[in-house]
Amino acid sequence: MDAKTNSNFEIKWFINVGDVVRIKKYDFHQTSGEDKFEYVYGTVINIFKHEETLLFPTAEILFFKTNRRLICYPGQFEVISYDK
């Protein structure tokens, strides 16, 4: 990727490894017609800031309940607790 050309377009992402996050998970296979959702919680285990194949910064999250890893974009999760 190119070097930074304009500071107005620099992505500032304040997240660290070890932060607790939550994701809203939807269940679209409901027979009642209503969208049902639940919150799933996890922790950030890896951060990819300058990965060319992903185009945007992403975080790898390990979910507590399922012990599953997932790479998520910034708009997909909410930071619950963070360490400054």
Q: What does the pLDDT look like over 40-70, one tens digit per residue?
A: 999 999 988 776 777 778 899 999 999 999 9
Closest residue by Cα to residue 17 from 51, 53, 42? 42
Residue 2 has pLDDT above 60, yes or no: no
Q: What sign does the dihedral 72-39-66-46 (CA atoms) show?
A: positive
Q: For residue 41, list its beta bridge partners.
A: 22
Q: What is the pTM of this model?
A: 0.70
Q: List pLDDT tens digits, range 7-51.
A: 565 656 788 899 999 998 877 666 666 667 888 999 999 988 776
Q: What sign does the dihedral 53-69-77-17 (CA atoms) show?
A: negative
pLDDT for the residue numbered 63: 94
Q: Which amino acid is at 71?
A: I
Domains of the chain: 13-81 (2.30.30)
